[in-house]
Structure 1
């Protein structure tokens, strides 16, 4: 069993009959931010084939509240869809982060927005599109966020910071005005499971 298999959910005793055997793997393409990996696999029925997927580092997504209860948002150009995207700050872990995701969340919040969190709590973890990529997103709740620094953006980031009342943001998510998957997931999960605790 591969390391990737060991980290997966446990669907019960019948998992083995669904498992693919990986007989080889290599990177077909690499660029800043992600790689495209090709696995040679044997399917449960014995068919030998290959499977490509996007491989990228773990990421954090932050739901940051100011002391006044507003949410700190980013507006960012997204080339893949050809428009400005409004949503939650997010970013990827670096190789030297040593799995300190709290530190990654604090860093990415400050780099993208210039705000610093007074407190931070991890909410949940998802695999947003595990049929296409191996991404793992860790969602955080940040409270008492204050502007303390200038943005420190990557060379290929075009980001503007804005504030929104939480209820307005929730309405924009529910009305479909906000289409960013991480933001929709974070806000709806927070609303359903965490806001009223």
Structure 2
């Protein structure tokens, strides 16, 4: 069986689509779908722009981390700077896939805005769909090196963030031990550890 025929065997057909709820940062989209057996239903999911996640290193090899209040879980979350591409980012909301240069620019902007740090270089680490059962999110992870606090932090009105540096091995241990529960951070650190270190 070819890949194409295997896909046709399980693929859903989208017959209509619309936004049921819109808020800053994401929408809730409703698709009218037809299943392979011919039956019809509605499917709702979170619709949001692509995002960048940055694993930033200082010249001394420490990781730049943030501590941010996360209302959905009701606690301060220790993790990495990250954020959605914005309309002014090329490909950041047009429906077109962003280029690697666009993603690097967004990563540089997010790093500076959330932490006040700027990097000498960005290297693409991995691209993932972190929750494709309930969202169309695509997260592009980058490693940033040579990071120095040379920019002004510029937080959004709904961001409460403290910036810290952490020994990378301590951050890795926190991920391995389950003390760092942020999924984007856990993925970036383990991917870095397995493929770059």
Residue 15 (1) aligns with residue 17 (2): no
Q: 1: CA distance between counterparts of 2:26 and 2:135?
A: 10
Counterpart of 1:64 in structure 2 is: 56
Counterpart of 1:158 in structure 2 is: 160
Counterpart of 1:179 in structure 2 is: 181
Cα separation, partners in 2 of 1:148 and 1:176, compared to 1, 3 Å: same
**Structure 2: 5+ residue stretches without partners:** 91-97
Residue 168 (1) aligns with residue 154 (2): no
SS of residue paired to 1:146:
coil
Q: CA offsets per residue over residues 126-167 of structure 1, 9 Å max, x none?
A: 000000000000000000000002210000000000010000
SS of residue paired to 2:141:
strand
Worse-superposed segment, 88-97 or 167-176: 88-97
Give the ranges of 4+ consecutive aligned residues of structure 1 lying more than 2 Å apart after TM superposition: 10-13
TM-score (norm 2): 0.92
Cα separation, partners in 2 of 1:52 and 1:143, compared to 1, 3 Å: same
Q: 1: CA distance between counterparts of 2:161 and 2:83?
A: 13
How far apart are 1:193 and its partner, in Å? 1.3
RMSD: 1.1
TM-score (norm 1): 0.92
